[in-house]
């Protein structure tokens, strides 16, 4: 009855959704993205990604080190040692906030199958560890207390479960492999899908996650039909839940942020790569602060400038940045990663008007600058000092009324040409990392089509 009710509710919601939220070019045939939830997501622009689990005890990569750097038998027993006594949700959420991040997405269950909460549907979870309790509940509550949106990553593939048909590591393992599913495998996948739906319902109904951040859809056992069914199921549980494009098979590669409307998903997820400018289909780059997703001792981190420029190129392309940290096995965040994030937070707090609630463009990103806009303002993020003149094409119908440095309000000299403006800049920019200039317009900046410089 429950299952029928869900489908029935979805059918009603589906039609309502069609009426209330049908924007142009929906990503999901017959079930448009919840546009208000999507706008709130895009306005946040910057989130914290957290990859964590018992594997952090060994400082190796989550899931991918199972059966490679760490023997499978050892990997699958790590949970018996996992006792993050120094975990403090307020510290984690405080670190995200200090970085200027507005949401947090944590690996609730990665490809290794371990659940970071006390799930009713598995014993391979935090309740079975010496720590003895889930961390997601505390994290979700702390996020709500500090005004950070709480989100959950969830892997479709599970190399731990015997009823999951794909094995890793395996000599002929490959991404996007094609393979016919025999009836026995199909039955196994149906059972496994029921397990996933049960766990996802826990995350939605008991942890109030705002997004299901799927991963692992590339394996042959997961099909387009399953992806569409899963998308509809989740939207039937919570109509404003956001679901990334890894619920289905529409990705054209790990770094891709293009959109194929035949496939389900509310936003694209280019990985370790800043997506191409796209202000038609929402996208979010996910990227590590170092090289590894899970914690690695003494790992080389990206520099402050690289971190901030990664954020600016992403929002300048009209995307979000989900920036990853790997907490330590004792439950603390790595102080080196926290310090780097604080440096990002200091820059963002001085320039936040040019980040939050903005959209990318109209000037397309170049090596010299990116731009964002909001209402009647364009924000130019100058990434390096390159000359005392900056010429900006602009259609005649729109006028720049004034220009100034965002941080201290110092006016910037403007010269109007027939179909452009020339700004006079100082030889060296006030902020060597990135300096923001605000252009005040006489019309909404959103009316300007993207401009290639």
Closest contact distance (angstroms) between CB of 109 and ligand FHN is 11
Residue corresponding to tokens 């208000």:
36
Asked if 239 interacts with ligand FHN (CB under 6 A), we say no
Smallest gap from Cβ 286 to ligand FHN, in A, equals 5
Pairwise CA distance, residues 131 & 114, whole Å: 14
Residue found by looking up tokens 């889930």 in the block? 134
Number of helices and strands in the chain (H, E) = 9, 15
Q: Which one, of 361, 373, 268, lies nearest residue 317 by Cα?
A: 361
Q: Which stretch binds ligand FHN (CB under 6 A): 61-69, 160-168, 221-229, 337-345?
A: 61-69
> Closest CB to ligand FHN among 323 and 347?
323
How far apart are the C-alpha atoms of 361 and 277, rounded to whole Å?
A: 9
Complex with ligand FHN: residue 92 or 293, whichever CB lies closer? 293
Phi, psi angles (nearest 5°) of residue 435: -120, 135
Minimum CB separation of residue 219 from ligand FHN in Å reads: 11
Counting Cα atoms < 13 Å in the Cβ hemisphere of 388 gives 4
91-116 burial, b at 16+ Cβ within 10 Å, e below that, comes to: ebbbbbbbbbbbbbbbbbbbbbbbbb
Q: Which is nearer to ligand FHN, 157 or 378 (CB)?
A: 157
Q: Which is nearer to ligand FHN, 21 or 153 (CB)?
A: 153
Tell me how far the alpha carbon of residue 6 is from its chain's centroid.
28
- Which range binds ligand FHN by CB under 6 A, 57-65, 142-150, 299-307, 309-317? 57-65
293 touches ligand FHN by CB under 6 A: yes
- Which CB atom, from 215 or from 248, has the smaller least distance to ligand FHN? 215
Distance of closest approach, residue 245 Cβ to ligand FHN, in angstroms: 12
Cα 42 from Cα 159, distance rounded (Å): 33
* 112, 202, 271, 278: residue in contact with ligand FHN (rule CB under 6 A): 271
Contacts of ligand FHN in 330-359 (CB under 6 A): none
| Shortest CB 301 distance to ligand FHN, Å | 17
Stretch that binds ligand FHN, among 60-68, 113-121, 363-371, 409-417 (CB under 6 A): 60-68
125 makes contact with ligand FHN (CB under 6 A): no
In this complex, which beta carbon is closest to ligand FHN, that of residue 221 or of residue 429? 221
d(CA 119, CA 34): 28
DSSP strand pairing (389-393 vs 435-441) = unpaired
Q: How far is the CB of 17 from ligand FHN (least distance, A)?
A: 27
Q: Pairing relation of β-strands 149-155 and 211-215?
A: parallel
Touching ligand FHN, residues 211-230 (CB under 6 A): 215
Smaller CB distance to ligand FHN: residue 66 or 381?
A: 66
**ω into residue 89 within 30 of 0, thus cis?**
no
- Candidate list 89, 286, 441, 448; residue touching ligand FHN; CB under 6 A: 286
Site size for ligand FHN (CB under 6 A): 7
Minimum CB–partner distance for residue 62 and ligand FHN (Å)? 6
- Number of Cβ within a 10 Å radius of residue 128: 16
User: What sections of 104-223 are H helices per DSSP?
Assistant: 136-146, 183-207
Q: What are the percentages of helix, strand and coil residues in the chain, rounded to 5?
A: 30, 20, 50
Residue 61 CB, shortest distance to ligand FHN, in Å, is 7
Q: Which is nearer to ligand FHN, 154 or 379 (CB)?
A: 154
Sequence-distant (≥ 6) Cβ neighbours of residue 39 within 8 angstroms: none
Q: Segment near ligand FHN (CB under 6 A), from 58-66, 89-97, 237-245, 431-439?
A: 58-66
- Per CB under 6 A, the segment of 62-70, 159-167, 185-193, 357-365 that binds ligand FHN is 62-70
Residues 63-82 contacting ligand FHN, CB under 6 A: 63-64
> Please, which residue, 64 or 87, has the CB nearer to ligand FHN?
64
Q: Which among 311, 247, 362 has a CA at the least distance from the CA of 102? A: 311
Which residues would be at the binding site for ligand FHN (CB under 6 A)? 62-64, 215, 271, 286, 293
């Amino acid at each position: 009855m429950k299952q029928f009710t869900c489908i029935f509710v979805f059918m009603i919601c589906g039609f309502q959704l069609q009426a209330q939220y049908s924007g142009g070019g929906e990503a999901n045939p017959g079930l448009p993205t919840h546009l208000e939830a999507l706008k709130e997501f895009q306005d946040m622009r910057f989130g914290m990604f957290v990859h964590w689990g018992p594997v952090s005890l060994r400082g190796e990569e989550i899931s991918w080190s199972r059966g490679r750097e760490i023997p499978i038998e050892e990997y699958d027993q790590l949970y018996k040692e996992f006792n993050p006594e120094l975990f403090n949700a307020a510290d984690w959420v405080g670190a995200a906030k200090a970085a200027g991040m507005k949401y947090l997405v944590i690996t609730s269950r990665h490809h290794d199958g371990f659940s970071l909460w006390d799930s009713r549907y598995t014993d391979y979870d935090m309740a079975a560890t010496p720590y003895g309790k889930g961390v997601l509940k505390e994290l979700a509550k702390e996020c709500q207390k500090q005004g950070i949106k709480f989100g959950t990553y969830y892997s479709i593939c599970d190399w731990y479960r015997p009823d999951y048909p794909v094995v890793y590591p395996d000599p002929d393992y490959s991404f996007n492999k094609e393979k016919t599913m025999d009836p026995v495998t199909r039955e196994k996948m149906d059972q496994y899908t029921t397990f996933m739906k049960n766990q996802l319902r826990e995350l939605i109904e008991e942890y109030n996650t705002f997004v299901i951040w799927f991963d692992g859809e590339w394996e042959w056992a997961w099909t387009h039909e399953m992806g569409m069914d899963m998308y509809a199921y989740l939207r039937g549980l919570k109509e404003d839940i956001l679901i990334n494009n890894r619920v289905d098979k529409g990705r054209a590669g790990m770094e891709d942020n293009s959109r194929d409307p035949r496939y389900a998903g509310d936003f694209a997820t280019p990985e370790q790569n800043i997506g191409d400018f796209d202000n038609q289909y929402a996208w979010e780059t996910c990227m590590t602060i170092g090289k590894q997703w899970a914690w690695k001792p003494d790992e080389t981190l990206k520099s402050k400038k690289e971190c901030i420029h990664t954020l600016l190129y992403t929002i300048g392309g009209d995307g979000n940045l989900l920036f990853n940290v790997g907490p330590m096995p004792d439950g603390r965040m790595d102080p080196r990663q926290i310090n780097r994030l604080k440096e990002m937070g200091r820059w963002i707090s001085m320039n936040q008007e040019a980040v939050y609630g903005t959209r990318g463009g109209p000037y397309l990103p170049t090596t010299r600058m990116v731009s964002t806009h909001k209402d009647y303002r364009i924000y130019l993020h100058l990434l390096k000092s390159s000359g005392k003149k900056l010429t900006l094409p602009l259609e005649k119908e729109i006028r720049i009324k004034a220009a100034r440095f965002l941080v201290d309000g110092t006016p910037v000299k403007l010269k109007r040409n027939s179909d452009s403006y020339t700004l006079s800049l100082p030889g060296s920019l006030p902020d060597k990392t990135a300096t923001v200039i605000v252009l005040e317009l006489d019309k909404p900046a959103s009316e300007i089509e993207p401009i290639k410089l």
